[in-house]
Homo-oligomer: A and B are copies of this chain.
Amino acid sequence: MSEPWREISRRKQDERKSRIPPEWRIQSASIPNNGSMLDVPRTCGLLTSRELSITESHSAVSLLAALVERKYTSLEVATAFCKRAAIAQQCCNCLTEVMFEDAMARAKWLDEEFARRGKPVGLLHGLPISLKDSFKAKGYDSTVGLAALAFKPAKENSTLVDILLEAGAVLYVKTNTPQAMMALDSHNNVFGRTLNPRNPHVTAGGSSGGEGALIAMRGSILGVGTDVGGSIRIPAMCNGVYGIKPSFSRIPFIGQESGGPPGMGGLGLKASAGPMATNLRDCELFLRVVSDSGPWERDPSVVFGEWRSQGTFPAKSLVGVLRSDGNTRPHPPVAKVLEETVQALKTSGVEVVEIDAMKSGFQKCNALANKFFTIEGGNNWLSLLESTKERLSPWLSTRVVGKRPMMRTETLLSLHAAKEQLEAEMLSIWRDENGRRLDAIICPVAPHVTPEVDRWGGMGYTSAFVMLDYPAGTLPIRDISPSDLSLGFSHSETPLNNKFDQGNRELWDGKGIDRKVYLESTLCVQVVVARLQERKLVGAMGVVEQALKKGGKKGDVAVASEKAAKL
């Protein structure tokens, strides 16, 4: 065969399909062609009302409590989420590996152990957890959208997967990514494109796009993504869910498929694993349970430190607002929701100070971070592509011209020198002009609203915090409103003289843009704290959320999850 990837993709998709029981197929007529698919699980008739309740009326925290109280068995919880994930897959193509049979067997075992021991197996007893495809689960592929990696089942679990299993979690699905995780739109030739369940015209984001879509569909109550440029926070925004990128050395990352060569973590930017969920407490649950399992004993990169030693957001706090990265001016609704957040914080008594991206040096972060993505020249994943004659995905085909030579050591050295210098310079961002220490920073996740498919612009607002290794999370604030759509850039905001700002304006003001496509988008803010203080980040995100609720702004929050919960 001239293009082996085609056959591989067909077999892989057949395998995936075959692992969904025929009785869990839904009528294609149940799936809207053009609009939100969030209602499908409720309207398609496949889920019992108890299954709807399990999957929609709970947080992970409350579901765990119900499991421990034996209100539900692990088996019925696993069944409910397997069914709902199957529905999500049929709606928005978000899964890669379907592990339902193993999940049921494990859930049964957990129920038996619970009965036998008289206590739950661990802190995540019976909780279904979905994983980005890059995590290895014994016996299953980690294809990360590359045909060459298909049908090479993992011999070992990633360390984080072992930790979750030991805590009693149930694995049942892995989720889709872009080709080699090299894009911000989850399309690849093996599994196809993951759709945004709220609106198939806009992107589901990436690279943890399958997670984002699945969680928005409530096909998962807690998912794990990875982020080296924004790959947790971007799909969290696109799908209106919560997502936290910890500092690199907090959550085990060892033993993942990356599509790159081994050793890159030592030279380039370091990717983090982190939670995605429909609410903040579930993200916290994940971070706490993993941190308190002693992950530093299992992954040499993880720093010593339990959850309680990961910082505290103080009662009297000082928050900085970074309204722009200095390279791209946010779309008017993005700026507006940030200002609403500032006002809500001030109303609730939190002092907020302005941060200037130009003065603080933040403006330089994006360009430097981008250089780190060119070290290896793409040789590894492009060779994998060639090996099955696979073509580039649409978005990548407009950006990648082919393998480049590996960066020279001299250049790499100067890059690290520049990074060290910028990291030091950026410490000043944590002080206001009076020398007071900031507790958190709020800023956009992206300079634009969730764009149409394959039009995600830059990652300047997210990759900077990977380079700086600051914990950062996406907090969904509210749906975009019809009136937001008529907002224009203010006259004082002249376009910046660079292609990023121009491209970003195109997404709002450009010819051929019908802003109505953005109507289902969730407006989010990003919350950021200093390095390795994940507990402080959760505290900060909680304070922001509370401030907005108190300020009445939370009234029109329409996070997918919350909508879904209103049965």
Chain A residues with a Cβ under 8 A of chain B: 249, 254, 261-267, 296-301, 303-305, 309-311, 375-376, 406-410, 412-421, 423-424, 426-427, 430, 437, 468-469, 530-533
Contacts and interface: CB of A to CB of B under 8 A. Distances in A.
Given A296-B532, A410-B406, A262 B420 contact: yes
Given A297-B437, A408-B409, A423-B300, A417 B532 contact: no
A298 B423 CA distance: 10
A301 to B, nearest CB: 8
A413 B531 contact: no
Given A254-B424, A263-B416, A419-B266, A309 B303 contact: no
A296 B413 contact: no
Nearest to A254: B424
A304 B406 contact: no
A265 B416 contact: yes
Contacts of A426: 300
Contacts of A376: 413
Contacts of A267: 266-267, 409, 412-413, 416
A532 B305 CA distance: 9
Shortest beta-carbon contacts, A-B, top 8? A266-B416, A263-B417, A262-B417, A263-B416, A300-B423, A309-B309, A304-B532, A263-B413
A256 to B, nearest CB: 12
Looking at A266, A311, A413, the one whose CB has the most chain B CB atoms below 10 A away is A413
A300 B531 contact: yes
B296 A531 contact: yes
Given A309-B305, A426-B300, A409 B265 contact: no
A360 to B, nearest CB: 14
B531 A303 contact: yes
Contacts of A409: 267, 375, 406-409, 412
Contacts of A410: 406
Contacts of A263: 412-420
B423 A297 contact: no
A296 to B, nearest CB: 7
A63 to B, nearest CB: 31
A533 B304 contact: yes
11 contacts: A261-B417, A262-B420, A263-B412, A296-B531, A299-B424, A300-B423, A300-B469, A303-B303, A305-B309, A305-B532, A406-B413
Contacts of A530: 296-297, 304
Could you say which of A296, A303, A309, A376 has the most chain B C-beta atoms within 10 Å of its C-beta? A303
Nearest to A302: B531
A254 B417 CA distance: 12
The winner among A407, A409, A437 for most chain B CB atoms within 10 A is A409
